[in-house]
Structure 1
Amino acid sequence: MHRSASRLTRVLACAAVPVILTVAGCSSDSGKDKGSNDGKKSDASSSAKPNAKSAAPLEKAAFATLPDPCKAVQTATIEALVPEAKDKNGTATKSNDLTSRASCSWNGLDEDGLKGSQYRWLSLSYFRYDSHASLGSANARAEEQYNKQVEAAKASEGAQDPKAEAAAGIGDQGTSVAYTVKKEVDFSNTTIVARTQNVVITLDYNGAAYEGAGAPDRAKLLQDAITAAKEAVASVDAANKQPAEQPQSPQPQQ
């Protein structure tokens, strides 16, 4: 009995040896493979990383500043669009960065005795974008804002039957959105959204009639708004043109 138990112990011990060697061998081989694979993975990961030198640089923003919004539309245009404006110079909205955001508004009530009164309100806003490594190019960011402004105009509170149309000849992109808002009287609203390079312009123009006056002509409101929007776009280009350098007078020779 004792002899059989000793023999069984030796058999189990011998049988375990190849298993241990196999595991050890696998461990040794896997270590070599792992080192080799790590090298390959390291090479692959390093090759997958973008090369900063080869990456195409983002385009430089076309416009570096914004015009004064209260002076972006001609005085004659303001007088035509907003008769009897309370302040023909406009009311600027406060901004902590006038090179990126700026806006101005005008309003006025033109009273005509027994013929009633006409109210007009005009607002002009600018948004300017720079190229940013994590946010994209200046033009792409402006286009995104342009699309948001168009959708916001169509979803204006109280807007009835908003009608959006392409507005040609106003910057690189232009859209007009016309609709009616019912308050104590019907307001006819027109919003022009335009983009010129990295700047987005939003112009709101509305009118209403009081005391029996005829309702504003919606087609004329639209045309007037387009006229003002074109001037607002042109002002962006003018604000970014550098003044011509004055020729220097020759220095007298000693």
Structure 2
Amino acid sequence: MHRTAPRLARVLACAVVPVMLVVSGCSSDSDSGKKSESPAKTGDSTQGDGSGTALETPEASKSPEVEPAKFAKLPAACKSMPEKTVKKLVPSAKKKNGTPSRTSDTMSRAGCSWNGLDDNGVKGSQYRWLDLSYQRYDSETALGESGAARAGETYQRELAKAKATEGAKKLATAPLKGVGDEASTITYQLRKTGEDFAYVTVVSRVENVVVSLTYNGTGYAGAKPPTVADLTQDAVGAAKEAVASLPGANK
């Protein structure tokens, strides 16, 4: 009886060991049977949405870079014309300092005009009118369009508007060099108040700004009216001065 007890203990111990090994073996088989998932690759430009469709990452959907607008400010239009220029083009201006245009956005729009009748008694009178305007454009990153490109579109519209003047006669358009990045003159004659007026419009683009200048005049009481050629030279000179005032306003 005393010998049986130790022997029985050894049998029970041997019986337990295989059970533990089986359990351990089952656990190992279970783990090895699972398929390992590959980690997502970093640096991919797209991600899945679960439907098999690739989605753009924030990096891939960034707006394209556009050139910054060169000019952030506009000059005071009435001060951009030198006093001597105003006196030459509009000798008897009602307001020598000009009449500023009304605008709710002085950062993008500016304008000024001068007009006057130079009375020469029995020799008649000469009427002159000068108008100057600036239009500035910022770059639009969301649209992928630079300020210069937007100004170029307005430049073309201003030319088209001048050429579409109702009643214009002998209309002519010519490219102009030396006034901004691109410029043109539009000249024509127009009958108003019983007199023949000569008109000159100079439209130019300087980077992201469009400068438009119109100069016209006629003679009254028997005075000989000016010709388009007479007014063009003065108008082009004034347009150059208007363009030259832009860098100073952005210092």
TM surpasses 0.5: yes
Distance 2:89 2:61 in 1: 52
Alignment of 1:158-237 (within 5 A): 158-183=167-192, 184-237=194-247
**Structure having the larger proportion of residues in helix:** 1
Residue 201 of structure 2 contacts residue 213 of structure 2 at CA under 8 Å; is this kept in 1? yes
Deviation for aligned residue 1:94: 1.4
Superposed CA deviations along residues 197-225 of structure 1, whole A, max 9, x for unmatched, are 00001101001011111120321200100
What 5-or-longer segments of structure 2 have no aligned partner? 1-47
Residue aligned with 1:126, SS: strand
Superposed CA deviations along residues 14-52 of structure 1, whole A, max 9, x for unmatched, are xxxxxxxxxxxxxxxxxxxxxx9x754x12xx2599814
2:126 aligned partner:
118
2:70 aligned partner:
62
Residue 208 of structure 1 contacts residue 215 of structure 1 at CA under 8 Å; is this kept in 2? yes
2:105 aligned partner:
97
**Misfit runs of 4+, over 3 Å:** 47-50
1:22 aligned partner:
none
Residue 205 of structure 1 contacts residue 221 of structure 1 at CA under 8 Å; is this kept in 2? yes
Residue 65 of structure 2 contacts residue 144 of structure 2 at CA under 8 Å; is this kept in 1? no
Residue 64 of structure 1 contacts residue 240 of structure 1 at CA under 8 Å; is this kept in 2? yes
Query: What residue identity is the alignment partner of 1:67?
Result: P
Deviation for aligned residue 1:157: 2.3
Identity across the alignment (%): 48
Distance 1:138 1:86, change over 3 A: same
How many residues are paired up?
A: 202
RMSD, aligned CA: 1.9
Distance 1:77 1:135 in 2: 40
Query: What residue identity is the alignment partner of 1:222?
Result: T
Distance 1:96 1:226 in 2: 29
Distance 1:240 1:213, change over 3 A: same
2:45 aligned partner:
none
1:3 aligned partner:
none
Deviation for aligned residue 1:135: 6.6
What 5-or-longer segments of structure 1 have no aligned partner? 1-35, 242-254
